[in-house]
Every structure is written in structure tokens, then in C-alpha cells.
Structure 1
């Protein structure tokens, strides 16, 4: 972790009208702009204001008093108005500055993530509600049955919005409008009701075991100490980590603090939200990409006003305007989904730790398969650790076996088609279904097939905008690029040679696996779970309910089924291609594969019925698979740490990736060569490249890559910032810098 500045600076001061203020705008800008503050206004640092920029008006944050400006006072534009929203806290402003410095992103670009909902910067308009007036019903007024129902409802003393009153009375809005015009209903302006009820911290939670209670007490004490700490909650799958850290959430709420729970796949957190509601009596606030604009506006404002006491969200929720944040929980802390790859490139888990240090509160990292970085931070004494070594309720961990596909070869399907399931796995599925239990087939590959080629000429169908094969999605009769989103209908003939009916699907995806399941197990009720089949959180919640209520016998899914779900009747997990992901240029390939397979294996046998896991592999001797079979995680981590240290790879060194991109390859090459000529030189600094990135063309842009490895004591950000400043980029050329890269494509 990079060291933090020693102080926050001077206490907040009131800046009177007539001053010049520095306003940071939510644009990719390196510095605030200077504005004149009218005599009628006064602000503090962090006040959110509206300012003119060209022909537009934008929100901005007062970053401080400006003692001198580059233009004369007469030419300065003035602050237009002050938004009626709590000022951005000093801690959050410092967090924005820190993230910008660490990621080498413009501070304005980081601010844009914090001021992401401009419509929420002013309080909502008062709501129009209707009540029964004091006027009696005139004798000549025709009181129909519909009108009578509306008046009876209004006379109960509650104020209702017009639409709600009409709906409750079972009438049209025109009936309500007529009663208003007749003077029988009064229209009042009412402040909108609170959307997020406060969670009940004192509500009785799940009965904890002795071991769980001890860990819960430790975590709660970290919260009540009101000091910075990081605790790795290391518990096997099914050990009750969620219920345990709920006690720390309760402790923070009892102190009047807000809580943020980060999750890697918030749209799939229906089971977590149900647990939270049982524990605290209300649903938490949510923050993810599937929220409507209105929901985003309401939630952002509720966080800023302190109404939302607990929020569960994706990585971007880290930048919401919390005023009283007292705890961050990073659930499934190992998950690569916490890495933001576009725009401001950051690792949300690591930034959560920084946010806790700046705010001086506790951070909990929870996982059954902790990242190597977190494990080594525990060993170095930077983090503390709390262990949950056993499953809750006496459930046992599943038995893991490896199926050697060199011997246990799949047989042809009854139709003569290719099969992807070994005979041993087929038999295990049959036995599981006969016992009335559920089975899961896991293959981390979306679509029907990863490659479509021509049998006549060998042509492989690629994305026109990326150097990537198009993936066949047979259910939609489409080919799709999973990098840029390009889609095309399945062609009848080869685009290269024109031969008809010559295109064949190569390799299995989950859709092809589901096709095999329908053939082999026609009586089984099956379900396909992948990101392509889940349009949103509501659909995900319904599918999870179907599995829990045993409306499904056999599940075919990708990695989304590996993330913390609890299915009591699921006793068999079959991993169709356990070797997928073990090879390639990713330095974390082995670690990621271990974590993913261990997580998906953890779905089996979580209740009183024992579970088993079968891993299909052509590399059964691989250390990852051996560790999964033996259950010896520590041996795998030691092997992985030793491999990384010998290769001078993170976390034993620091790494950055520089990606030069341009509309055409020549411009990309020229810019990359110019960067290479000015590359910094220092002992302990290695720069590899430039070379075409594995995805040499992405979204129509040609890409060249540098990889930088540095000793941990070198000022990597300063070296890279100085290097970047030596080469002007023109002609549509862009340079993206990824500190601590996770993707090497």
C-alpha cells in the first residue's frame, strides 16, 4: 500500500463572497478552475456548486480558496449557485485526490464517479398529496359510488398522492381530479417520505456457534474502537461469514455510522439481501448498474443525507457521498470483478482499505479463498485475520475427485454427436437425480461454442472490430464478440469461401452443454445460468428461488453460480473443464483458477446431505487440481508465493501496464516507439515492450503494450507520470495506464 499524506490540512473555513475559489469539475481535468464567488454567496471546501463552462452549466466541488488566478478578476466567470446538498466531506475529497494520484487519473475524472447523479444534487420537489377538505358535499353534487370510495379513503386522515389515491380506491385519476375541482379534496405540498427505513441493529440475529460468536465479537470490537483496522475474515464455504460480519454491521449502526458492503456481483445478491432483511428488518439500499435513473437519484441523495444507513453495492459505490461511514465490508474480496478496467482504472478492494485508513474506521475483507495479496499482508502484520475453519451446523466439506479425461473419455451421444461429459460424471449425475438431489455442471464459457470455422477453407469467424473470435449463441441465432459487444446473425455460408453449410461450432459453451443435458437426462428439470440469461436482479432472484425450492434438478452455469449462493439440496458439482484458465499470460492464472473452482465446489453439500465434486481434467497432476483434491490450501499458497517471488512478480514487485491505442496501427506504432525512446531507467526497473497487445485491436483501436516491473521501494507513479509527460499524444492516440494490472489482454 502506498503511504498516505500526514495531515488533512486546515480545518474547514467559510469562504465569503467576493473571493476567488478553485472548483474541481467532473471532467478529465488535472486542476480545478478558478471562479469568482458572488457577494451573496458563501461556501466551504467541499460545497457543491453550479458553474458555467462554455455554453454549459456543470456541477463542481469547491476545492479551496484561490489566492491567485491565471486570468484577471474581471474576466473570471462567477459561481452560478450553491446546490442544496451536504458538502463533500474532507475525507472524501482526500480520497479522490489519493485515488487520482495512485491511478494516475485526472482528479476530475475521479470526481465524476463521486458526482455521478447530477439530478440528485438538489432536494426532490415537494410531493403533491390530497386530503379531505372541510367542505361538505353539496346537495346538487352527484355522489357516485366511485366518488364515495375516494372520499371515504381520504376521510381516514392519510394524505395520498393523486395516483395512489386513485389506485387505492380503484378509480380513474379523472374521478380524483373532479373531486379536487369540486373543492372536496385539498391539495397540499408534502416532503417526500423516506425511502430507506433505518435497520434495527438490536434485532435478534441468527444463532451463532461458539466459534462464530468469538469472531463476531472480535469484528464488532474493531468497529467500536473507531480506529483504522483491516481484518481478513477467512472462512471456508458455508461457514457463516455473512451472519458473522452482520454483527459488525450492527455495531456500526449502534454507533450511528453508515455501512458499505461491497459485492462483486450485486445483481445476483438476492440471497444476501434476504438474509439482511431477516437480520435487520428492512432491505438495504442498493447501488448497481441495473438501477433506473430515478432509483439512482433517490439512492445517491439518501446516502448524502444520511438516510441510507447500509448500502450494498458494486465497486463504484465506494465513491458515493457517505457522510458518516464507519465500516466497509468487501465480500468475496478475492474476486477479480473488483478491478475496474475502463476509465479510471482501480482495484476497489485496495481502495476500500485506503478509504478506511483515511476515515479511521474498520475494513473487513471476507473470503473462503483469500487473494495472495491479502494472505501476505496478514503474514506481514499489516492485516489481522479471523478464521472460520468449519461449516455451520455440522455440515462437512465436499469430497473432491479428479476425473482423468485421458482415461475416462466421453462417449458419443445417442444422436452420434460429441459429448463433453465423462462416463463417471454421467453416472454420478444419474445417481444424484435418482436420490432426489440437485446437481450442478460448471463450465466457465458463455454461449454455445467459442469458435466457428469453415470445414472447407478453415476460415475462423472473427470480430470486425477486435482481434477476437466471435462466440456462437445458438439460442439467439447470433455470433457475438464478448469484448466489444458486436453481434451478427449466424451466416448460412462461409464469409471467406462462400461454401454453404460448411460452418461448424468448435468447443463447448454452456449452451452446448445444456443441449447435451437435454439429450442425456430428458426427464430432469434443467436450468441454464449465465450472464446472458439473466436480464436483471429480479430475474436472478426468481431463478435462485426456483433452485432453493427444488423446482430445478440440474443446473448448467458459468462463474455466476460460484458466488456465495446457498442451495441446500445441491450435492453434486461437476466441473466440465477444470483446466480452463490454467494457462496463458495472466500471472494470477493459477490463483484465479484455484479460487473459482474452490468457490464452485463450495456449492455442494452445504446442508445435512454430504456433497461431492468431480473435476474433469487433462492435467490432473497440476498443483491447482492437486490442492483442490487434497484440501491443502496452504501448500498451494506457498507454491504460488514461491513461484511469484522467483519471477519477481506481484506482490513481490510492483507492476504497471501502459496501453497505447490509436485508430490505425501506424499511429499506434509511432507513439509506442516515441514512448520507448524516452523510457525511464533505474535500478530495479524493468520495462518490456512495446509489443502488440494480445488483443491487438479492440473496439476498432490498434493497441501496443508496455509492461513495467519495479522494486516495491521505487516511486512507480512518479516515474510513470514523468515518462507520460515527455511524449505529446496527437491524432487520436491515447495512453491508458493500469497500476497493478489484472488483465493482460
Structure 2
């Protein structure tokens, strides 16, 4: 990501200077900017950030009073909007009883919208959606007061007053229940002045973490890194630090010390994780360090807990939040530190709606909040390494595992020399290693980054392939559920008993392995082993993942079989062997980052082996053991591999040495998609240091029933893409039924 200046610049949009007070209100809808509303005398003290109710057409909407002069880089300034005359202004209806959106969050919304070329209202929706519901209201309770001298005494009233004196304050219903009377008796005592009302706010929903609760014992290298991060977090101010460390080096324990320093300053902390599943083990480690669990923020939270958490963040009582990428848009009152764990993960890229990379936007959020940010990874992205090399980011490196554990021995299995038996997928070399591992009482893991039973099913009789009716993709068989499904649009149908084309019976044949097929082979090969499958199909949420991790830790599992979920930072102390079923998977196709991603993923998988006393071994099944990716994994020389990757990208100005913007045309018909794409191609920007590739059919030429074409703008790093793309889009009117989506800094090229 190009880090543009955040210097202030007057807004291009200025309301008419008139005598009538007005406020700009941004609505969480796809409009190009805020609307002006008249401010009635009863709301004369409206301020930017206030959440208000306003009319829009014949309905009422919730919005936020917006700043008249947003802070944006010059190249990101939106086009000016035509001011509205006083006579056409509608008044603000009411100010809602909600915490206002902080100034830093409002600037962040403007920044994300401008950078991604998204309507600011759609970005605001990610920050505002939960705020439209009220928090838990304070409770009115009743306590004993000085009874008036003329109070009529009855046994029922005496019981109420005794309970109120000993147990109060209590809600009226609870006070009546304990006294064994009707609530009318309580109301009568209140009216008579014998009870006084006490408004009690509910207790904070999240206990405050104690930074002194259980400090860790760190080694020399760890202690030095922890002291450095503590200094940064304790001092505050914007800075970016890469914490790079080999798997098992204790990176989490080290950055927890930065969290402790931030908490000692009285500031809030945001920790971003790439996967919700990671939160289970992470929160356990956090609780052991700080004595309580943090607040969580992700899509699996129920509406009530989301509402409670949002307000706790806004009020400052949620001191530490760990969440997915959407947690970036929470209204932190006192944000003092951001941590992005596994910063290299592509899961941080939001592909639907507003397309943004949470790692890059986290750096922007930290800058706007004047807070340090720590990027954490064993295999940093090339973009982050380039920023380190340019001096924009600090760099802390951990080269040894914690507690003296050794790095695993990584070897390739040449599948040309040691092929599996016909119809199977595990080399005899790998199966023998698994047998020996389990015989020693240790655990083993098989990794294949492919869900389901088989990625392709075809008919042996006529060659027909089962394809999704809505996408240019094969249907994946899930034998356990007896369905075939599309992993792109979710289409699903029962597995057909005959070929849909020629109707031949028992002719459908699975091609290639998925994790279910490897499980089937493992059950047959290791009949006495206790197996556990870890995939998104078998672990539907954090609770199921936590249970699976606990079973592995209790040694109730001999062989773990999983997809990429097993590569995340789990600590399995008794797991000593990792077998990668298809190490070549992911190297094919035209993805710019294919080799980088494969190295990162397989390095993370390999890091699960030998994290305690027993040494670890990693076996990579490959048909191209001489590939640079395999050689890098075997040698452990990640730095040299990334240097070679960088040198290959530099001459063509590919990221991180250049910038990309993808334009994706989608339409109901291929004709509309082609016509719109041709119009974009004909009006494509031209100039020194930039090139437009395409239009061309997308690899997924049909997705969810819509026909897709792609264009890619590539430019030198110093060229700002946003104004160029904005002007380009203004020159083209999409065909009816067609849409143009923009992806700045694309990660996926499908």
C-alpha cells in the first residue's frame, strides 16, 4: 500500500454560507457524500460525531453529523457537491442517545472511502450499524429512606422496609418478591417517601485486564524485543514495527507485553486476527497473562453481545478488543495500540462490498489515532518487508524458538521416485513416518488445503464434468453430506446417482483428493489411529475449534487431518510430524503472489511440528522438489527466497514496487459485460509509468450467475491511482444491467 500524506486540506465540498444553521449528515447508504440538513433551535449544540435521526424522502434514517473539512490526502479529494439552498433543507429530527463517533474514526471513514473509491456511506455502515440500537438501560432500584412520621404501618410494608434496609437497593419487582408482597406495596411506600429511587448502571460487561497479573519469563532475545515494544507502547505516538520471528519463538508473549504497557497508560488496545477460529486459543493465553478474557468482535457474535461490545468500546470500558478485520471500525474512545497478528494473511483482504486490506487500513487507523502498530508474522509479506527496507517500518527479529526447541527438519518426498499406490495419495515414505511417529506415542498431522472429498467429478462413460450452473467452477463432492457444492456461490445439490449427461449408472468418478478423501485413506491405512479432521466444514465456529484444540492437547488424537485452519498459530506440544499431501498445490495459475503465498502457508504448517522437547519433522510431497519454493522450505532460508521474489517483481513495477487497481465488470449477459469492458478499454488512461492490461474474461468468467470481465491498471509506486481511476470511470456509462467494481491493491485475481 502507498502511504499517502494525511495533512489537512480544506474540503472541496462547502455548504452555502447563509444565516440558517445547517449540518452535514452522512448516512450509511451508497451516496457520494453527506447531505445538508437544517439545525432546529432545540439542537443548536449539534457537534460532528453526533448520531442523529433525519428524514430521507418519506422515511427516517439514522446518520452522523459529519465534518465540513475532512482530513484527506490531496489526491484522494472527492469531487465537489452542489450546495443546497436554505429553502430545500429538511430539519434534523432528533439527536439519538448514543456515544458520538470519535473524530479519528470519522477521518478513518473518509480515508477508507477515498482510498478504495467507495461511497463513504457504505464505509460508515460498517462503523454505525450496531450503534443504532440502545445499550442496556440503567435500572431504577429502591433503597430505604427516612420514613415519614405519619406512615401507615402494615406487616407487608414492614417486610418491604426490612428487606430494603438489609439488601437494597433492589428493583421493585425483586424487592416485592423477597418481601412476598405485590409491587403495589412497593409503589405505595415510594409515593409515601419511605423508599427513595436509586439509578444503578449495569456493571461493565468486561473486566479490566491486569497488566501485572502474571508476567512471563522471557529469554534473552525475547526480553530485548519485549522491552523495545513496551517502550513504544508506553510512549505512544504513531510508529509501525514488524515483529518477525520463527514459528514457536514466542511472538504472542512478546507483544502481550506491549499490551501491558499500553494498559498501564490507560489506553485501549485492538488486536486483529485473520481467522475467527484463532480467537479460542488466543483468548486463553491472554487470560493467563492478564487474569481475564478480552472483548471479542467478529461475525459470529449475537446481536445483543455486539451491541454491548460496541458501547463498551465507545465508553472505554472494553480495554482490549480482539477481532476480525471489521473491528477496525469500532468507535474506540482511547485507542493506544494496534496489533495485526499473522499480518501476511490474505484473509485480511475484504473482497465483498467495500474492498480493503485490513493490515494496510490498520496502519492508517493507527496514524490517525496517533498510536503505535505492531505487525506480527513468521513469514512477513513482501509489502511489509519493502517498507522495512525503505526505513518506513521498524524491525524486530526473533531467530530461535522459545525454550530451546529446535526448528523442524523439513524434507521433500519426490513423488516421481516414491509414488503412492494406484488410487491412493499418500507416499509409502509418508505413511511409514506416520506409523513410526504414532508408535512413539507422538502426534502427526496431514495437511491438504482443499475441502470436500474431490475437487472434480467426471463421467467415465462420456467425460461429462459436474459444473456449477451459476459459476465457471467445478462442483466439489462432499461425500460425508452426500452433496456436490460450489465453493464460490454456495450452490448445492444431492450427489447424482447417474451421469446428468449420458445417464450412465455408477460412472461418476472423483478426480483428485480433498481432505475427506485423505481421511478415508488414513482410516484404511491406520485403522487403530484416533483421527480428527480440522476444516471449516467440520469446525463451524470458535467453540468447536476450541474443543478440537483441547482434544489434541489432551492427547486424545493421534492423527490430525486438516485444511489451512491447522496452519494458524496453534501450539500442539506433542505433535512432531507434519505431512503435506500436495505441496505443489497453489503454485499453478497466473497469481502474482502464488509462490509467496505457498511459502508462507507451508512454512506456517511446518511450524506446528516439534514445538516442545521432541524434535519435529516435516515431509512435503511434491512432483517438483527442485522448485524454489520447495528449496526455500527445506533450507529454511525465507529471507533469500523473498529477496529473489522481490527482484523478479521490481523490473515490471509489480507490487510492492508498483501499484495495481483492478476493474471488474459484471453483467447479467455476456453482451453487456463485453460492451462495458470494451468501453473501459477504449477510454483507458495512458501515460508514462502506467499500463492497462485487458479487458479479458475473468478466470471465474461467470460468478453467481453474472458474467465477468477484468481490466488491470498497473502504475509506478509514486503515481496515485485514485484520481486516475475516478476520471476513467467518469468517461464510461455501464450498459444496462452491468456494474463496475474497483479493487485497489487487489490480492485475488479471480
TM-score by length of 2: 0.91
- Post-superposition offset of 1:58: 1.8
Distance across 2 between alignment mates of 1:160 and 1:267: 41
Alpha-carbon displacement from aligned partner over 1:711-732 (angstroms, at most 9, x marks no partner)? 1122211111100011122422
- Post-superposition offset of 1:355: 1.3
- 1:266–1:312 CA contact under 8 A, matched in 2: no
- 2:131–2:310 CA contact under 8 A, matched in 1: no
Alpha-carbon displacement from aligned partner over 1:522-573 (angstroms, at most 9, x marks no partner)? 1111100001111211111111111111111110000001110001000000
* Residue 616, structure 1, aligned to residue 621, structure 2: yes
* Residue 100, structure 1, aligned to residue 109, structure 2: no
- 2:278–2:569 CA contact under 8 A, matched in 1: no
Structure-1 residue corresponding to 2:680? 675
Alpha-carbon displacement from aligned partner over 1:689-735 (angstroms, at most 9, x marks no partner)? 11110000111111010011111122211111100011122422111
Change (3 A) 1:577 1:81: same
Matches within 5 A, 1:88-487: 88-120=101-133, 122-127=134-139, 157=167, 179-181=181-183, 183=185, 190-412=200-422, 418-487=423-492
Structure-1 residue corresponding to 2:558? 553
Structure-1 residue corresponding to 2:38? 36
Change (3 A) 1:275 1:179: farther
Change (3 A) 1:675 1:183: same
- Post-superposition offset of 1:128: 6.7
Distance across 2 between alignment mates of 1:719 and 1:139: 82
Distance across 2 between alignment mates of 1:136 and 1:286: 53
- Post-superposition offset of 1:96: 1.3
Distance across 2 between alignment mates of 1:105 and 1:231: 29
Structure 1 stretches of 5 or more lacking a match? Answer: 142-147, 167-173, 413-417
Structure-2 residue corresponding to 1:21? 23
SS in 2 for 1:245: helix
Matches within 5 A, 1:699-738: 699-738=704-743
* Residue 531, structure 1, aligned to residue 536, structure 2: yes
Task: After superposing the two structures, state which structure 1 stretch, 639-648 or 534-543, moved more.
Answer: 639-648
Change (3 A) 1:378 1:504: same
- Post-superposition offset of 1:125: 2.3
* Residue 637, structure 1, aligned to residue 642, structure 2: yes
Matches within 5 A, 1:539-688: 539-688=544-693
- Post-superposition offset of 1:581: 0.2
* Residue 494, structure 1, aligned to residue 499, structure 2: yes
Structure-1 residue corresponding to 2:74? none
Distance across 2 between alignment mates of 1:491 and 1:151: 74
Change (3 A) 1:623 1:686: same
Structure-1 residue corresponding to 2:72? none
Task: After superposing the two structures, state which structure 1 stretch, 593-602 or 478-487, moved more.
Answer: 478-487
Distance across 2 between alignment mates of 1:540 and 1:56: 44
Distance across 1 between alignment mates of 2:427 and 2:164: 68
Distance across 1 between alignment mates of 2:621 and 2:162: 68
SS in 1 for 2:37: strand
- 1:132–1:184 CA contact under 8 A, matched in 2: no
- 2:407–2:610 CA contact under 8 A, matched in 1: yes
Structure-2 residue corresponding to 1:692? 697
Distance across 2 between alignment mates of 1:474 and 1:123: 45
Distance across 1 between alignment mates of 2:143 and 2:739: 60
Distance across 2 between alignment mates of 1:522 and 1:128: 63
Change (3 A) 1:226 1:501: same
Distance across 2 between alignment mates of 1:512 and 1:4: 52
Distance across 1 between alignment mates of 2:153 and 2:448: 69
Structure-2 residue corresponding to 1:171? none
Change (3 A) 1:700 1:441: same
RMSD over aligned Cα atoms = 2.8
